[in-house]
Amino acid sequence: MSNNLAKEWLKAAKLDLDNIFYISKIEHLTPIVAFHSHQTIEKSL
């Protein structure tokens, strides 16, 4: 994987992580928090 592509994936992972922090305070959005958590982990590998 090229360096630029890896950086783009990590930027996308950071956006997912930012979403987690924002929506984790809203109880009915728990499934979406789980989704973004999974996406963050996958994009970081």
pLDDT band at 34 (very low <50, low <70, confident <90, very high): very high
SS (H, E, C) 3-45: HHHHHHHHHHHHHHHHHHHHHCCCHHHHHHHHHHHHHHHHHHC
Q: The pTM is what?
A: 0.81
Average pLDDT, rounded, for the chain: 93
